[in-house]
Amino acid sequence: ALGKQLTGSADVPPPITKVAGRSAGARVEGKVVIVTGANSILGIGRASSHQFAENGARAVYICDFDGSNLEAHKREINALYPAVDVHVRQFDASDEKAVKAVVDDALERYGRLDIFFANAGIVGPHQSFADMSKADFMKVLDVNVSNVWLAAKYGAPAMMKTSADKPASGGSIIGTASVAGLRSNAGSTPYSASKAAVVSLAQTIAYQLVGTNIRANAICPGIIETGMTAPTYEAARKRGTEKKIGQLNPLRRGGNADEIARVALFLGSDESSYVNGQAWAVDGGLSSGHPFVP
Ligand code: NAD
């Protein structure tokens, strides 16, 4: 009966068409991945480099302008996933020459680049628009927006070297935006503006990569306990008000970096082969409504 409903005639539904490249447990098998903003111990970048390594990446470039933990992260990934090549690169992700150099290195060594996770970001001063200096405003915009643009500018041509043979997914560019880029935020003014720009970039890049099989998406994390939010969490713990951080969230908690990393893994993998030009809120539902104050 189900078959009849589906097809109008057959007794048995037609077999499901499986997407090429799906392989549970090795979701990015053989792929070459660049992750920026990977130094922070609690950060989304470090968590993501683990997800990519655990899921069969051939090589992961862990990049950050702060190199203080990168070698330790490399040793850790090497010990857990010895088959994965880990490359440490210390550079500013908004430096055009440096971004080009890391992409060139991937092409030289592996002849391919599959995933560029442009995740580096800064928050800037928590000031109202009226109080900010232009220098502070532009610094946040520059870092947060141009690192995603440069990932696409240099990453996409590298991905194109192999993308024609890979209709399921010829490459994936992922930018870390924020729910602050989707909804207003009383915190840092340029931060919200920059993250809205990252959402727009993902849409624009996806459209301009028409016909290449390369996808571009943005992840919009909610409140996640990372290096960026550590001072807020620490202060709240001292005051005993930690629970308040998740108070307005339908899940009644903040998130952790791995909950974002798992979405980065999905968007990097062929499992998301038809997800393109999207801004994915990964925020426990924070941006799905608005606080009701009776
Ligand atoms: P984090 O501070 O732990 O990590 C950010 C990393 O980016 C740091 O290691 C930092 O050194 C690096 N970085 C900053 N500027 C850089 C630059 N110019 N070049 C290279 N590296 C640079 O914070 P996180 O939360 O893991 O941040 C990752 C991304 O997630 C950021 O883009 C951030 O804006 C975004 N985000 C975070 C939250 C949150 O609640 N934590 C929410 C929404 C979005």
10-residue block means of pLDDT along the chain (294 residues)?
Answer: 49 67 77 97 95 96 97 95 97 98 98 98 91 95 98 97 82 97 86 97 98 96 95 94 90 94 96 96 92 67
CB of 254 sitting under 6 A from ligand 1: no
CB of 228 sitting under 6 A from ligand 1: yes
pLDDT the model gives residue 3: 46
Q: How far apart are CA 40 and CA 228, in angstroms?
A: 9
Task: Give how far Cα 59 sits from Cα of 5, 15, 53, 54, 201, Å.
Answer: 47, 35, 8, 11, 26
Ligand 1 centroid – CA 43 distance (Å): 7
- Catalytic residue selected from 191, 207, 233, 274: 191
- Do 35 and 91 meet the contact criterion of CB atoms below 8 Å apart? no
Could you give the ipTM of this predicted complex? 0.99
- Report the nearest atom of ligand 1 relative to the CA of 191: 34
CB of 280 sitting under 6 A from ligand 1: no
Q: Is 81 a catalytic residue?
A: no
CB of 169 sitting under 6 A from ligand 1: no
pTM recorded for the entire structure = 0.94
The bridge status of strand 59-64 relative to strand 279-282 is unpaired
